[in-house]
Copies of this chain bind each other. A is one copy, B any other.
Amino acid sequence: MKGKKPNSGERELYHFIHDYHQQYGYTPSYQEMVDHTSSKTKSHIAHQLKKLEHAGWIEKTPNLPRAIRLNHAVQQSPSQGLIPLLGVIQAGAPIPLPGSDFAMFLPEDSIDIGSMLPVQKRRKDLFALRVLGDSMVDSNIQEDDIVILEKAQQANNGEMVAAWMLENEETTLKHFYKEKNRIRLQPANHKYKPIYCLPNQVQIQGRVVMVVRSC
């Protein structure tokens, strides 16, 4: 459920913060957000802010008044390097792949990293996901990292992939290993056990080509 695209309320809140900051040079207080959005309580604002932060739109320093940062990368110029940030990847969360009906509704949804990729990899079929949880720590990928994947239907052994498992109906980030008659999806955290499934029960959605961490 987490990592969903912001709903209309969250979008309204984000826009208000953005406009307010544009106008005053600092961000609004919770009370002001209540007064100018459809939310009617500060606790609700807090709730929505947490979701916005989780989705990577804002950063907020706890306990500090008006300490919100907008994480938008203002893309005024049309850049080919835009990669849609689809959401978070976590067990249980199916990822809507771009291309079909996915539309970026705000420029903040995208990150411009394409231009730093090797030329061979500069393709259109790249997308990004924010990592949730600790299932990849052994591969030095931590929570809130952003993984950039290229769309792929298959993978080589050892590669890190986003895989859709038909049975569980979920997408996860795992290392891919094709064994004799089955596929082994190996978490990069010794705490978690590998998942075995039949080849026809796994759909590779993408292969990780880059990891980015904002500190």
Contact = CB atoms under 8 A, between A and B. Distances in A.
Interface string A94-134: 00000000000000000111011111100000000000000
Given A26-B66, A65-B66, A73 B119 contact: yes
A81 B213 contact: no
Interface residues of A, number: 45
Tally of this chain's copies: 2
A1 interface: no
* Residues of A contacting B: mostly: loop
A141 B72 CA distance: 25
Most buried by B among A29, A65, A112, A213: A213
A107 B177 CA distance: 37
A46 interface: no
Q: List the 9 shortest-distance A-B pairs measured between CB atoms, nearest first.
A: A25-B69, A65-B65, A211-B213, A140-B140, A112-B115, A112-B116, A140-B142, A111-B116, A66-B66
Interface of A: 24-27, 29, 59, 61, 64-75, 79, 81, 111-113, 115-120, 137, 140-142, 145, 159-160, 208-215
